[in-house]
Amino acid sequence: MMKRVIVKCKLSSKDVFEKKLSDISMNFSAVHWQHDRIYVPREYKKNSNYPRLIMRTDMQSADQPAKYSFILKRHIEDSGADIIEETVIEDYEKLVNIILQLGFKPYAEISRQRQYLNLSEGAFIYLDKIGNLPGYYAKIEANLAPEDSVTEAKNDLQNTFRALGESSFIESAYFEMNN
């Protein structure tokens, strides 16, 4: 399992944000489409440490088959970090059936057009257009070593956004913003 810090913000201008990164020779990937189906335990409550299970469909291009992933995600409220485990799957329907039999229920679905930029080993910037939400969003995800401070890592990521002229930070998951 990977311990990860995630900082998101709503962009004031997608074009300006991309230009600032391009000016320092950092360019985003081509756009690809992702669709997440989020499942939660039957007793799920917002802002809790309950795990979420995500079934992700990822289409890199129309001429390639979709990639399916199963993601276990748990936000640890008192630390501010996320624990994430992701695995590629072959049989989407079979795994959904297992999820339902384990007592999880469908909770939300999110579609997005996504681009990514590799900042460094274990750190990525994602540029997202989320379903029917207005505007564009960016998020930075960084993997943490066991000895890393979550608070310091989060501050570093926020400072990266500030250096790029962005500061409209969002604490909610995308699916919570869409409900």
Task: Tell me the per-residue pLDDT of 21-62, one tens digit each, with 9 for 90 and over.
Answer: 999 999 999 999 999 999 999 988 776 778 899 999 999 988
Provide the residue range defining the domain that includes 93.
Answer: 2-178
For residue 120, the model assigns a pLDDT of 84
Q: How confident is the model at residue 178 (pLDDT cuts 50, 70, 90)?
A: low
Number of domain units in the chain: 1
Residue 145: count of CB within 10 angstroms of its CB = 8
Q: Spell out a b/e string for 7-43, using b for 16 or more CB atoms within 10 Å of the CB, else e.
A: bbbbbeeeeebbeebeeeeeebeeebbbebbbbbbee
For residue 112, the model assigns a pLDDT of 96
Q: Supply 136's token pair.
A: 């564009």
User: Any residues with CB less than 8 A from the CB of 109 and at least 6 apart, and which?
Assistant: 35, 36, 37, 38, 175
Q: How many helices (H) and strands (E) does the chain have?
A: 4, 9
- Whichever domain contains 115, its CATH number is 2.40.320.10
Task: Compute the distance between CA of residue 109 and CA of residue 112 in angstroms, rounded to an integer.
Answer: 10
Q: Supply 24's token pair.
A: 């320092």
Considering the entire predicted model, what is its pTM? 0.87
Dihedral sign computed on CA atoms, order 111, 23, 165, 154: positive
For residue 122, the model assigns a pLDDT of 84
For residue 3, the model assigns a pLDDT of 83
- Cα–Cα separations (whole angstroms), residue 118 to 44, 115, 123, 125: 33, 10, 6, 7
